[in-house]
Amino acid sequence: MKITELIKTRRSIKQFKQTPIGEEELHSWLEAASYAPNHRMTEPWELLFIGPNTRAKLKHKTDFGNAPVVFAVLSKPAATAFERDENVMAAACFVQNFLLAAHEAGVGTYWASLGALPHNREILNVQENYDVIGIFGMGYPEEMPNAKPRTPISSKITYLS
Ligand SMILES: Cc1cc2nc3c(=O)[nH]c(=O)nc-3n(C[C@H](O)[C@H](O)[C@H](O)COP(=O)(O)O)c2cc1C
């Protein structure tokens, strides 16, 4: 699939099959994702794979759509607020790379932001000054939702003289 088609056909998946995901394959998507742009080569992303006990404590409303794999992506701290923002942006680039690599293999993802809530940071044992980019449920989709329409990009563009 062309990259533009991959981007446009990715969906947030809300319900997953129980089919397991190969560990090697998963690592290959993470490794590919690490080629994300990141200023000063900070490579700020870190991953927490969430086991059943921790997952139960998070009390997610659908248990991440019963995804066979759940993990969190963190962005590491920085010396200044500016650099911290850069880290978060780079970590989000890492995530999008990962989502697309998984999608290319037919694997879907669910991005949940609840990991950033103070009580969930505690459950995840996230160290101070780390940002939680998201918690991700991942698996083969049970169903593929329709695309949510996007605003025409021309309305988002301003040309400066
Ligand atoms: C930073 C971020 C946080 C998100 N948090 C949630 C969330 O907590 N719950 C949820 O259902 N979707 C969450 N999403 C997914 C969006 O709702 C989803 O991407 C959007 O509805 C567009 O749908 P699509 O991904 O299928 O194109 C999040 C996405 C991003 C980028």
Q: Cα-flanking dihedrals φ and ψ of residue 2, to 5°?
A: -65, 155
Asked, for residue 148, whether it belongs to a domain, the answer is no
Asked, for residue 125, whether it belongs to a domain, the answer is yes
100-129 b/e with 16+ CB inside 10 Å = b? Answer: bbbbeeebbbbebeebbeeebbebbebeee
Q: Considering its fold, how many domains does the chain have in total?
A: 1
Asked, for residue 52, whether it belongs to a domain, the answer is yes
Q: Model's pTM, two decimal places?
A: 0.98
Q: Work out whether the CA dihedral 154, 10, 33, 118 comes out positive or negative.
A: positive
Asked, for residue 16, whether it belongs to a domain, the answer is yes
Instruction: Give the Cβ contact number of residue 4 at 10 Å.
Output: 8
| pLDDT per position as a tens digit, 29-40 | 999 999 999 999
Tokens 């790379």 locate to: 97
Q: Which of 111, 135, 136, 144 is the pocket-test mutation for ligand 1 (most atoms within 8 Å of CB)? A: 111
| pLDDT per position as a tens digit, 1-15 | 899 999 999 999 999
CATH of the domain at 50: 3.40.109.10
Instruction: Give the Cβ contact number of residue 25 at 10 Å.
Output: 13
| Closest-CA residue to 91 (of 36, 9, 54) | 36
Query: Could you tell me the pLDDT band of residue 78, with boundaries at 50, 70 and 90?
Result: very high
Q: Cα-flanking dihedrals φ and ψ of residue 134, to 5°?
A: 170, 165
Task: Please give the pLDDT value at position 91.
Answer: 99
Q: Is 111 in the pocket of ligand 1 (CB under 6 A)?
A: yes
Compute the distance from residue 135 Cα to the ligand 1 centre, in Å.
Answer: 11
Work out the average pLDDT over 39-47.
98
